[in-house]
Copies of this chain bind each other. A is one copy, B any other.
Amino acid sequence: MRIPLDRQSKLPLYKQIDAYIRASIQSGSLPPDTRLPAARQLAADLGVNRITVENAYAELEADGLVYSRVGSGTYVLPPGPLQPLLQDAQGGSWPQWQQPASPDGLEPWKTAAVGMLPTSPDAGLLDFSGGIGDHRRFPVEDFRKVIQSVLRDDGAASLGYGDYRGYAPLRVTIAHVLASQGIQARPDNILITAGSQQALTLVAQLLLQPGDTVLVENPTYSGALELFRALRLRVVGIPMDERGMQVDGLEALLREFQPKMIYTIPNFHNPTGACLSGQRRRQLVALADRYNIPVLEDDYVGDLRYEGRALPALKALDPGGRVVYVSTFSKMLMPGLRVGFLVVEGPVYDRLVRLKHASDLATSSLVQRALQAYVTVGRYQAHLRRSAQLYRRRRDAMLLAIHRDLMPEGAGLSLPAEVRLHPPQGGFFIWLRLPGGLSSEELLPLACQEGMAFAPGGLFFPEGAGGCDCLRLNFAAHSPQEIEEGIRRLGRALKRLESCKRPNFDDT
């Protein structure tokens, strides 16, 4: 089998092999029951590692396109979805408990969220829907060296369970880095978690019961909404403007809904990019104190600031034990490490440690040790500075492209007030509003056809209905050239949507 491979491509070799065979099966050029070449043979033919071919075959098998027989080889399956083997044998139906008694927020992902899901490999798609920085900037090579020395030096100790609160030296490092950001934290108030998402999970699970109310910014991080719905919480949105959550209206909401927690992203808010003003930060902490309600502060990327003065974290204003602070180093460095942390004082800390232990015993000790060896205050600050320079240029490139390609003559897309007045001073996101009547969920498939993707606004609204006219763009993951091309494609998709919505009018 001759498969054309592009060794300069960003698409890994195994994905290229996968894509080629996949296309051959789907086109019928590899009919059912064809035996694929042995991995060793194909690897030799293509001049690649055998593992590369095996990975490609495994992807195909995982998707039900081929199957393998031990000792015999890999064969093409007939088209169409495989019938579940066991169900087939019985012809029976699923037991009753397999279905939820009531909707529990775990229904299948909406089609509209397609941009958030792992998609099949498509080298041409410029995907602005993600929530992380540019993976081409991840310090892979440095990290490779570090993980080597950890395994060499610590040996089996790096592969045991370790301290349930997290690797002690890493907690010390985190305390030092937080101190450099103005947050006073002791290592024994820090709990290491499987990414900041698990920190949110533990706090919400511990402090709230099904049916309890949580207040969130409207809109807010989709992963938090997903979590709160899965925990069967009632989610109530707090209106936002260009200075973040409208804290003035908060007291009325506290009285009306008697919430058990306030969840907030004060810095470079996801999805709007807004920053909570200093005055509002103080008001929020004071209100939480007066109403005896915990604040869950999600500072997922708060130290990635491109300009302007840093504002104190809510945690830094905390009179003690009112704010649970959640963050991660891995977001910007390497999200796949899945290491985040929370900081809290008081009795709730020990209970969170217990809940973490009950949930998954501990976070990978090896990865924690490697991260600890990699992250020093100096190195982290240097990485931050480099990232901030790079991403600021990309933000500017995207704002420019939006103004040029999407908003000619005042028509077309608009930047919502908060973005127009204050281009995001940090983080990853720009938030756009479509002209009246147009839906970002309808726009998304057209945009994908044009070769770009974004995150549709509906994902970020607690009630699930709002935000259909908004969309979120990640400017950090692509180069300025890619950003310009991506926004041009978005412009074409938007024109197509407008023309099919308003075929006979110029401007209504």
Report A's interface with B, CB cutoff 8 A. Answer: 12, 49, 51-52, 54-55, 58-59, 61-64, 68, 70, 82, 84-87, 89-90, 92, 94-100, 104-109, 118, 132, 135-136, 138, 140, 143-144, 147-149, 151-164, 168-169, 171-173, 176, 179-180, 184, 186-189, 193-195, 197-198, 201, 206-207, 209-210, 223, 226-227, 229-230, 260, 289, 292-294, 318-322, 334-338, 345-348, 350-351, 354-355, 357-367, 373, 377
* Cβ contacts under 8 Å, A108 to chain B: 350, 354
If the complex has contacts A62-B188, A152-B144, A292-B97, are A87 and B359 also in contact, measured as CB distance less than 8 A?
no
Asked whether B90 lies within 8 Å of A320 as measured between CB atoms, the reply is: yes
Interface of A is mostly: helix
In angstroms, how far is the closest chain B Cβ from the Cβ of A301? 15
Partner of A61 from B187, B350, B354 at Cβ < 8 Å: B187
Q: Tell me, in angstroms, the Cα distance from A132 to B345 when the chains sit together.
A: 32
**Minimum-distance CB pairs A-B, first 10:** A58-B169, A62-B168, A336-B365, A86-B320, A159-B334, A159-B336, A198-B360, A144-B151, A194-B360, A135-B156
Asked whether B207 lies within 8 Å of A97 as measured between CB atoms, the reply is: yes
Asked whether A361 lies within 8 Å of B338 as measured between CB atoms, the reply is: yes
Asked whether B157 lies within 8 Å of A12 as measured between CB atoms, the reply is: yes
* Cβ contacts under 8 Å, A367 to chain B: 364, 366-367
If the complex has contacts A62-B169, A358-B227, are A151 and B147 also in contact, measured as CB distance less than 8 A?
yes
Asked whether B94 lies within 8 Å of A321 as measured between CB atoms, the reply is: yes
Most buried by B among A318, A357, A361: A361
Can you give 21 A-B contacts (C-beta < 8 A)? A51-B149, A51-B153, A70-B377, A90-B320, A95-B289, A96-B292, A97-B260, A98-B321, A107-B354, A108-B354, A118-B162, A143-B151, A159-B334, A197-B359, A198-B360, A201-B358, A210-B210, A230-B358, A336-B362, A360-B360, A364-B364
* Cβ contacts under 8 Å, A164 to chain B: 118
In angstroms, how far is the closest chain B Cβ from the Cβ of A232? 9
Q: Tell me, in angstroms, the Cα distance from A364 to B197 when the chains sit together.
A: 13
Asked whether A335 lies within 8 Å of B161 as measured between CB atoms, the reply is: yes
Partner of A135 from B151, B160, B163, B230 at Cβ < 8 Å: B160
